Amino acid sequence: MATFVPIKRKRGSKMSANKLQEEIGSLFKNITLKIAKNNRIFILAQKEQILDILSFLKNKGFDHLELISCVDWIKKNQFEIVYILTSYLLEDEKSRIHLILKTRVSRENPEIMSALPIFENAEFYEREIYELFGVNFDGNNRLIPLFLDREYKIPPFRKDFDTREYVKNLYDSILPVEDKNK
């Protein structure tokens, strides 16, 4: 895994999306790169490469982890973990580059390394994904409930979570309140 060493950059430094794409493509093999409208770069990588790529991007000045999200591709038996990064210091708002880094993990063994060593704010995103999808982030020792107060057989944001069965089981077990007007 690459080590994060901060690089000092001047506010307003310019970086071209094409130049960054070339640099990423030359350093990391077996990845897919695409530049979309509005200076968005999409990177699809293997889960083993994610920390190295995140560290590289942070060293390049992409110091803001905006979000980590998860998509359940049930028919492909995979989760897609999505990291969105940007930089406050590199460009003005109009020319700012947004990086969308994606990887896939198996639904049967949903595990990936934690981004905490690189981005401290990853903790809450990882806790949320763990709680709602069941993806384990190896190295995050605080994967404790963030929102939910119940245990679930299947995490509730997975596509195979049966909401109707859950509601029926939960509310059928509550005894009805008698009508006070009778």
Tens digit of each residue's pLDDT (9 = 90 or more) over 15-70: 678 888 889 999 999 999 998 887 889 999 999 999 999 999 999 989 999 999 99
Give percent of the chain with pLDDT exceeding 90: 58
Domain boundaries, the chain: 17-149
The phi and psi torsions of 4 (rounded to 5 degrees) equal -80, 120
For residue 77, give every residue at least 6 positions away whose Cβ sits within 8 Å of its Cβ, in sequence order, or none.
Answer: 106, 107, 108
Q: Taking the domain 17-149, which CATH number applies?
A: 3.30.460.80
Neighbour tally for 131: CB within 10 Å: 19
Tens digit of each residue's pLDDT (9 = 90 or more) over 131-147: 999 999 999 999 988 88
Distance, in Å, from the CA atom of 45 to the CA atom of 34, rounded to the nearest integer, reads 12
Distance, in Å, from the CA atom of 69 to the CA atom of 89, rounded to the nearest integer, reads 24
Which pLDDT belongs to residue 174? 72
Q: Is the pTM for the entire model greater than 0.75?
A: yes
Q: Which amino acid is at 141?
A: N
